[in-house]
Amino acid sequence: MSLDKHQLRTYYKELRASLSEEEIEQKSLQIKGNVISFLNGRKGLNHFHLFFPIPKHREVNTFPIKAYLEENGAAVYTSRVDPKSLQLKTLRLKPNTKFQFDKWGIPVPEEFDLVSNDLIQVVFIPLLAYDQKGNRIGFGKGYYDAFLAGLDPSVLKVGLSFFAPELSILPELHDIPLDYCITAEKIITF
């Protein structure tokens, strides 16, 4: 029996909650290692959009990936939700900027430039679950699907996950699939 999106969200939130802080950090560092392997085979990528982990959601810690990208001269971007339009606005980070938490517990950079998303070549995408075809489930707000729809189709869409893929997730019309997913164990191509 397959689970619907609501059931999968509940299941993966519980699965994440069962991970210790040490497991999250260890798996996050293993994911960083696989991100480096992924990038080593793809020269010419210099503009990366990265999400930053919301502690209460127990997401992959992407700060080590940010540090690696900056150390290697890459431009790093992130997004924040515009309160008026409820769309993601693109922020280019200043190198080594510090972060603070907003009222929702989202890490927000202190130094950035508000920019267009035209230069972005790779988007690292948060997710709760994904399947063997690259369909993914987020937290259900649709921010990333709308953001991805506005990008050039050549932009690489890369999920980061602690877990293996589900067999199948029924996509909705607005869903945009991943091109890759990077876990602690491997790099999956769709």
Note the pLDDT tens digit of each residue in 143-169.
888 899 999 999 999 999 999 999 999
* Confidence check: pLDDT of 96 > 70: yes
Residues belonging to the binding site for substrate are: 59
Residues belonging to the binding site for ATP are: 5-9, 136-144
Please tell me the pTM assigned to this model: 0.93
The radius of gyration computed from the CA coordinates of the chain, to the nearest angstrom, equals 16
3-state helix, strand, coil in the chain (%, to 5): 25, 25, 50
Note the pLDDT tens digit of each residue in 112-142.
999 999 999 999 999 999 999 999 998 877 7
Note the pLDDT tens digit of each residue in 7-18.
999 999 999 999
pLDDT value of residue 1? 47
* Confidence check: pLDDT of 102 > 90: no
Residues belonging to the binding site are: 5-9, 59, 136-144
Q: Which secondary-structure segment (H or E) carries 9?
A: helix 5-17
Whole-Å CA distances, 126 to 2, 58, 137, 162: 22, 11, 9, 11
- Domains in the chain (CATH in brackets) are 5-189 (3.40.50.10420)
